[in-house]
Chains A and B, each alone.
Chain A
Amino acid sequence: MTISLIVGAAILAILAFRPSVVRRITLCATCPPGFELTGNNTCKLRTLYQLYVSDSGEDAGVGGLKTALPAVRDGFTPQQIDLGRYLFFDPVLSKDGTLSCASCHQPEKGLSDGLKTSIGINDAKLKRAAPSLWNVAFYRKLFWDARATSLEEQMMGPLYSADEMGSTKEQLTATLNDIDEYRALFKEAFPEKKSDEIEVSEVYHAIAAFESSLISLNSRYDQYAHGYAEALNKNEIEGLNIFRSFVARCAECHTPPLFTNQQVAVIGLAEPDGLPLDPGAQETYNDPSLRGAFKVPSLRNIDRTAPYTHSGKFSTLREMIEFYTLGRGHEVAAGEKLHIHWHIWEPELKDHELDRLVDFLKTLTDETFTPRVPDILPSGKSVQVRRQDYNISSLNQ
């Protein structure tokens, strides 16, 4: 009697929940580290830099130690952020199900991939290096050539590029709508949505939500900046002073607290292996004076994201820094007219100064908010889709 009641109830329950599947995943209802859950179920970033006023202009967010940050992209719900995390790690987003966002933005490689230039679908060798995603919530321009102005716009690049993830809007939405678990998760993350269909804008929104949660602002440098003088040792402080001096001028473009001023700049790099010059932002702005200009990358977690530059031509920090003291325009090919940035000059840094700069840059490492890799994915695929021959270790360890 009792048993039949239970069985009956169970059958009823199953029937009641049809056509939804047996859910294996529920979205996290709390904000990621660094975010406070506020009213309207939204996550707001909380950092010690919010204790400071910005010095020059409205939320310019540049310069000095105790400076406010530029405006941040936050206010997503915990569920949207967590859904974005599943999408980010799910190779089902690519044309052939082999590549996820995390293939080129791996948590254990500073949210980059450790390669000189990335490798896309069908082993396509891509033109540029994968930038780290730390602190993208603050960026107003994305891609090395600054051609996107929002995370949503940016992600359409790799998602739909034939050489990268190779998908299309149609394929992406069709694939996700075919997975019942994703349908349910999107309902959970976007409770006000009318249609049962997953919209592509919701996919963008969720991934942008997740990417905006990748915050790194609590390095030893930050402890120093907030007033703990002992956070850095003597060599590192010497490095900081070289970094911000007007001889080396690093801090003029790699401006704290984000360690980028978010501008594009021509520093006069040649391509490796005799390749033709990458015009960079010249194409974005259709402006020949920006030939060879690239976005100034942040130096946060820089020790974790070798190799360096858009072409990955320098494999160590030491080599990268040395570039700046080998002569203004020393790599520029004859006949190439570049408008090299005025801060690129002849600082004549000594060997020990280069070493101290490396010491200092290593204090910018903070990966405490590294995101958790999902144990299972809504698509049923494994996050461990890696190509062994590139020596890319599995994510999920």
Chain B
Amino acid sequence: MKVIKNIILVITFFAFGTYIGKLIFGRSSDVPAPAPTYFQSGVSNDSSGIGAGTITGKIINVTAGQSIQDAVGKATPGDLIRIYPGVYNETVYIDKDNITLQGVIEKGEWPVLDGQKTMNDAILYSGNGVLVENMKITNYKGNGIMGQAGNNYVIRNNWIVDTGVYGIFPQFGKNGVVERNVLTGIEDAAIYIGMCDNIDVRFNEVYGNVAGIEIENSRHALVEFNYAHDNTGGILAFLTPGLPIKTCYDVIIRNNYVYNNNTKNFGAVGSTVSHIPKGTGILIMAADDITVENNIIMGNDNAGITITDYGYAGVDHASDPESEPNSDRITLLENFMSNNGNDPIDDVKALMVTQLSKNGPDIIAVGGGAGSCVVNPARYRTFGLDKYANCTATDTRAVKTYMLPKPVTPRATTLAEKGKMTYFAVCSGCHAYSTRLVGPPLNVIQALYKNNPKGIEDFITKPVHKRDDYPEMPPQNYLTEDTRKAVSEYILTLTK
């Protein structure tokens, strides 16, 4: 056991060392591309389809004593922010697209974001195409890295220790990858994929958390080659009621190491994960179309794999009529399972007594659900698989990745379209075509600025009070220059 752990650690460090070596020695600092070559190999499961980390702009260096947020403030899409070793006490928020935050690790010295247990979150992003790598993040109360509706994200090679509720938490994001991160000491899920689509979670190590990896109300997730050990629960796939996204399906959990997840539950009262019994390897609750394949699941004291609906899970959430509570179409392919169930909770013990066993199961399925199957169940200690058919599927090798082949692009809009949207969203509050609202009618403005959109543009940027019979117009300088130009042109085309 210990040997295996050591081998994995050695491999991890070797891979890491190679990568960092390339980073430090393989490039001079004026070569900005942060992606190691193995991600650019063009093989189908690299992250080149995400687009994040494509540096087209400037490099901003941040050194100890400076503020990362100041650098984000100066950055424009396509810029690379390199953060040198030192301790940074701040919350960094990125409300811009295509920003890369790259820690620079020198001789083993990491750049550290330290919230000193007084700050909420280390990194918040809402932009698309955000990449965060090589940061050590510790002592926050909320999250290490939280995304809110940012698509095309890459979060990798970060070392996250006790950042509160979650470690890495992309929410409402489509097309992303979370890989090669090490996370520990998190009181809910270390890696929490919430209400996302098309996401790969791979090569991460999660230990000493309540939940290692949680895929919740997300679709098309591949959880692969992770090492989840010594958590309360290792890897979870949940459909939680009461959220605006009402489904969790198409999740593949394969080739993971799920060992000894026997840590006492230290989740906050009322949280979903506070109900997870210690000793939980893999837990599937109310999620559908989940495949569990080729994992090594050992030493989890309650059960190796638990499949449940809400009723059995003991979660006291209010129910949700739009949220289907059963785990349906679960596919359990070949898994290496051993030494699970050494100290099951009382409820599981009571069930296993009916099987004349004192130990907990490798696999337990309780509650409702239909259409599930299992391969070769006789080799495991199981409970509740009577309804499970023999699987016709043999493997998931056709799925290399759930990331998209191309980045999700913003809705294709022309500048003209933007001008029109801006007119209705902003200008029409005070101007109508031929009647007076707050400001003069547009046909009057059109007559004044015939063939002169630049005149309108200049005026709305910095209005001067021209007419006593109307109030002074507030400046519209919060619109970008090209938007102001587009809306000025649009105004001259209106006919009604």
Judging by beta carbons under 8 Å apart, are A63 and B149 in contact? Answer: yes
CA distance A344 to B411 in the complex (A): 35
**Do A217 and B425 form a contact, CB below 8 Å, given A56-B195, A65-B95, A67-B149?**
yes
Residue in B121, B164, B172, B196 whose beta carbon sits within 8 Å of that of A67 in the complex: B172
A-chain residues with CB within 8 Å of residue B437 when the two chains form the complex: 33
Stretch of B18-26, B59-67, B239-247, B338-346 with 4 or more beta carbons under 8 angstroms from chain A: B239-247
Nearest Cβ on chain A to B463's Cβ, whole angstroms = 16
Kindly count the residue-residue contacts between A and B in the assembled complex, taking CB atoms under 8 Å apart: 190
Judging by beta carbons under 8 Å apart, are A241 and B120 in contact? Answer: yes
Nearest neighbor of A255 in chain B, beta-carbon distance? B244
**Do A266 and B318 form a contact, CB below 8 Å, given A63-B171, A246-B169?**
yes
A-chain residues with CB within 8 Å of residue B169 when the two chains form the complex: 246
Q: Does A287 contact B (CB under 8 A)?
A: yes
CA distance A229 to B480 in the complex (A): 11
Judging by beta carbons under 8 Å apart, are A339 and B317 in contact? Answer: yes
For chain A, residues 34 to 57, give those with C-beta under 8 angstroms from any C-beta of chain B.
34-37, 45-48, 50-53, 55-57
Q: Does B426 contact A (CB under 8 A)?
A: yes
A-chain residues with CB within 8 Å of residue B95 when the two chains form the complex: 65, 224-225, 227, 229
A-chain residues with CB within 8 Å of residue B143 when the two chains form the complex: 245-246
Q: Does A154 contact B (CB under 8 A)?
A: no
Nearest Cβ on chain B to A194's Cβ, whole angstroms = 30
CA distance A355 to B304 in the complex (A): 47
> What string of 1s and 0s marks CB contacts (under 8 Å) between A234-278 and chain B?
000100011011111001000100000111111000000000000
Q: Does B432 contact A (CB under 8 A)?
A: yes
Judging by beta carbons under 8 Å apart, are B244 and A261 in contact? Answer: yes
Judging by beta carbons under 8 Å apart, are B151 and A345 in contact? Answer: no
Q: Does B229 contact A (CB under 8 A)?
A: no
CA distance A143 to B178 in the complex (A): 41
A-chain residues with CB within 8 Å of residue B165 when the two chains form the complex: 246-247
Q: Does A177 contact B (CB under 8 A)?
A: no
Nearest Cβ on chain A to B418's Cβ, whole angstroms = 6
Q: Does A62 contact B (CB under 8 A)?
A: yes
Judging by beta carbons under 8 Å apart, are A51 and B270 in contact? Answer: no
Nearest neighbor of B480 in chain A, beta-carbon distance? A227
Judging by beta carbons under 8 Å apart, are A339 and B124 in contact? Answer: no
Q: Does A328 contact B (CB under 8 A)?
A: yes
Judging by beta carbons under 8 Å apart, are B429 and A33 in contact? Answer: yes
Judging by beta carbons under 8 Å apart, are B196 and A48 in contact? Answer: no
Tell me the interface secondary structure of chain A in the complex.
Answer: loop
Judging by beta carbons under 8 Å apart, are B421 and A30 in contact? Answer: no
Judging by beta carbons under 8 Å apart, are B245 and A56 in contact? Answer: yes
CA distance A71 to B41 in the complex (A): 41
Q: Does A26 contact B (CB under 8 A)?
A: no
Judging by beta carbons under 8 Å apart, are A55 and B432 in contact? Answer: no
Nearest neighbor of B418 in chain A, beta-carbon distance? A51
Q: Does A293 contact B (CB under 8 A)?
A: yes
Judging by beta carbons under 8 Å apart, are A345 and B268 in contact? Answer: yes
> What string of 1s and 0s marks CB contacts (under 8 Å) between A208-223 and chain B?
0000000001100001
Residue in B126, B166, B196, B428 whose beta carbon sits within 8 Å of that of A56 in the complex: B196
A-chain residues with CB within 8 Å of residue B409 when the two chains form the complex: 53
Judging by beta carbons under 8 Å apart, are B408 and A63 in contact? Answer: no
For chain B, residues 172 to 200, give those with C-beta under 8 angstroms from any C-beta of chain A.
172-174, 195-197
Residue in B242, B272, B429 whose beta carbon sits within 8 Å of that of A265 in the complex: B242
Judging by beta carbons under 8 Å apart, are A247 and B420 in contact? Answer: no
Judging by beta carbons under 8 Å apart, are B164 and A247 in contact? Answer: yes
For chain A, residues 57 to 115, give those with C-beta under 8 angstroms from any C-beta of chain B.
57, 60, 62-68
Nearest Cβ on chain B to A71's Cβ, whole angstroms = 13
Q: Does B8 contact A (CB under 8 A)?
A: no
**Do A342 and B148 form a contact, CB below 8 Å, given A64-B126, A290-B318?**
no
Q: Does B433 contact A (CB under 8 A)?
A: yes
Judging by beta carbons under 8 Å apart, are A247 and B411 in contact? Answer: no
A-chain residues with CB within 8 Å of residue B423 when the two chains form the complex: 46
Q: Does B422 contact A (CB under 8 A)?
A: yes
Judging by beta carbons under 8 Å apart, are A241 and B318 in contact? Answer: no
Judging by beta carbons under 8 Å apart, are B174 and A55 in contact? Answer: yes
A-chain residues with CB within 8 Å of residue B379 when the two chains form the complex: none
> What string of 1s and 0s marks CB contacts (under 8 Å) between B336-375 and chain A?
0000000000000000000000000000000000000000
Judging by beta carbons under 8 Å apart, are A46 and B124 in contact? Answer: no
Nearest neighbor of B408 in chain A, beta-carbon distance? A53
> What string of 1s and 0s marks CB contacts (under 8 Å) between B104-139 and chain A?
000000000000000011001011100000000000
Q: Does B413 contact A (CB under 8 A)?
A: yes
Nearest Cβ on chain A to B215's Cβ, whole angstroms = 13
Considering the complex of A and B, which 4 residue pairs feature the smallest CB-CB distances, nearest first?
A: A64-B149, A46-B424, A63-B172, A368-B429
List 17 other contacts, CB 8 Å, given A55-B408, A227-B480.
A33-B437, A36-B420, A47-B425, A57-B197, A57-B245, A62-B149, A62-B172, A62-B195, A229-B95, A245-B120, A261-B243, A263-B243, A265-B318, A290-B318, A328-B270, A341-B318, A346-B268
Point out residues on B near A: beta carbons under 8 Å. 73, 91, 93, 95-96, 120-121, 124, 126-128, 141-143, 146, 148-151, 164-166, 169, 171-174, 195-197, 219, 242-245, 268-272, 316-321, 408-411, 413, 417-418, 420-426, 428-430, 432-433, 435, 437, 478-480, 496
